[in-house]
Amino acid sequence: MNEPKQLSVTETAIDGLKIVSLPVHEDSRGWFKENWQRTKMISLGLPDFAPVQNNVSFNTARGTTRGFHAEPWDKYVSVVAGKVFGAWVDLRPGEGFGTLVTAEMDPSTAVFVPRGVANAFQTLNENTVYSYLVTEHWTAAAIERYSYVNLADETLNVPWPIDLSFAIVSEADEYHPRIEHAIPVAPKQILVLGGRGQLGSALARLAGEDSRLVVRSRTEIDITNPADLEQVPWRDYSFVINAAAYTKVDEAQSPTGRKAAWSVNASAVSQLAEYCLAHGVGLVHISTDYVFDGTKPVVTEDEALCPLGVYGESKAAGEVAARLVAQHYIIRTSWVVGDGANFVDTMRRLAHSDVAPLVVDDQIGRLTFAEDLARGILHLIDSDAAFGTYNLQGSGTPTSWYQLARKVFELCGYDADRVGATSTECFAKSRPTFALRPKNSVLDTSKLRATGYRTKDQISALAQYLR
């Protein structure tokens, strides 16, 4: 008896297509193998793809040839009995379109086939059993989302062991299109919730250059309404970016505001996480510096949550809910500037209206521009960065709100000395309801930078924004 292979995962010329060598233990009774072993295989590089259905194809005759079919889901294929010649063609848009990979498979081999890669095989033995796990339940409607390539395509020139003129091929497979007419399988979309906020608006602008982004406002999908979430076509999405939030920091301290903050920032996130879990969708959740008390000069991702007010408490609870989704990115940011009411626009308006504002000088942090935040989120998704929590904040020297206000006046061509300094304590006395703020909102972004993304210098970005 042959010594069994070692479990291993090998990359191929098609991005994401991985060949798995499986140990098969034989004795006089037959053989045994672990066909799918989640923990071991994920540690070797297979994605945690969460299959929901197992399909089996029994093929009586040698030379039975099936495919090329590219389904809109991931597959993990293996041979239970017999031997096959497998062939795969990348039908996803991009440089890899049309790349061919082939391999001979027996019970000691499996292949992970990512969504959009066409799968075909030819049986080399009689009574061959071909098995595959898939990440979506099959429906008749799903066929409309398939893409196909002809088995005899001259450009691909697949080296079938048994000539197709002698093989058993279905009539449908004989008439599938050549590669030049094959329909590319578009990537799954990314759903953006809260599309009219500062971040949502920035992502909406990016949708013009990234067709994956589907941006929905609260009037279209209200995350606090279970009926709205139930109607979402979850299978169409790879990620949900939750840019929806209740951000009225002071009003959150009131009875009505408290209820609204917890409804949007915590309870709704819990519901959203449940849907993401049920459908295998990744969750990007936007959090804030307000989940901390501001006593540390620089805050890292592993700092213990310690909010000062209701808004921060509700956002901290939302973080806890988002972590229930294994494929999650929690993005902590601060002092966001984008479309809509924001500090910079307020100071610009005051500069033009001859007002001499008093601005707090004892809260320290950095501005984060919404477009920078939006591009950083897409970078994490597209670079397959490790899931978890990331700080994303503008770069440069930390400043106070007072210093930033002076800079706005200066950049707008007005006398910066018109801006006066005050303390948070004094400022709070002028407000009927006032929530405590973290005095220090400087976030350590080294973890984000390690993924290859660097945010803009806040002052340079401010000057560009004001232009």
Phi, psi of 120, deg, nearest 5: -145, 160
| pLDDT over 70 at 96, yes or no | yes
The DSSP line for 60-106 is: -STTEEEEEEE-SS-EEEEEEES-EEEEEEE-SSSTTTT-EEEEEE-
pLDDT of residue 4 exceeding 80: no
Question: For residue 2, what pLDDT is reported?
Answer: 64
Rounded to an integer, the average pLDDT of 368-381 is 98
The pLDDT tens digits for 177-192 are: 999 999 999 889 999 9
Q: Does residue 142 surpass a pLDDT of 80? A: no
Q: Which of 130, 132, 390, 453 is catalytic?
A: 132
- Answer yes or no: is pLDDT of 11 > 90: yes
Vertex 286: Cα angle to 282 and 288 (nearest 5): 150
Closest CA to 134 of 70, 41, 187: 70
Sequence-ordered list of residues with C-beta below 8 angstroms from that of 135, at least 6 positions apart, any chain: 49, 50, 51, 52, 73, 74, 75, 115, 280
Contact call for residues 85 and 104 (beta carbons, < 8 A): yes
* Residue 176 bears catalytic tag: no
Q: What pLDDT does 1 receive?
A: 52
Q: Is 69 a catalytic residue?
A: yes
Q: Identify whether the C-beta of residue 131 lies closer than 8 Å to the C-beta of residue 56.
A: yes
Q: pLDDT tens digit string along 275-333? A: 999 888 999 999 999 999 999 999 999 999 999 999 999 999 999 999 999 999 999 99
pTM: 0.85
pLDDT digits (tens, 9 = 90+) for 143-168: 778 899 999 999 999 999 999 999 99
Closest CA to 461 of 387, 386, 369, 397: 369
pLDDT in tens, 339-365: 988 999 999 999 999 899 999 999 999
Give the rounded percent of residues in the chain with a pLDDT score beyond 70: 100
Mean per-residue pLDDT over the chain, rounded: 94
Report d(CA 123, CA 127) in Å as an integer: 9
CA distances from 380 to 49, 119, 384, 390, 461 (A): 19, 29, 6, 9, 21
> What is the percent of the chain where pLDDT is above 90?
89
Burial tier of 24 (Cβ tally within 10 Å: 0-12, 13-18, 19+): middle
Confirm if 109 and 20 have CB atoms less than 8 A apart.
yes
Task: Give which of 264, 242, 267, 265 is closest to 192, Cα–Cα.
Answer: 242
**Average pLDDT score over residue span 440-448:** 97
Domains of the chain: 8-181 (2.60.120.10), 189-466 (3.40.50.720)
Q: Among 338, 334, 339, which Cα is nearest to 366's?
A: 334
In the prediction, which pLDDT does 35 show? 94
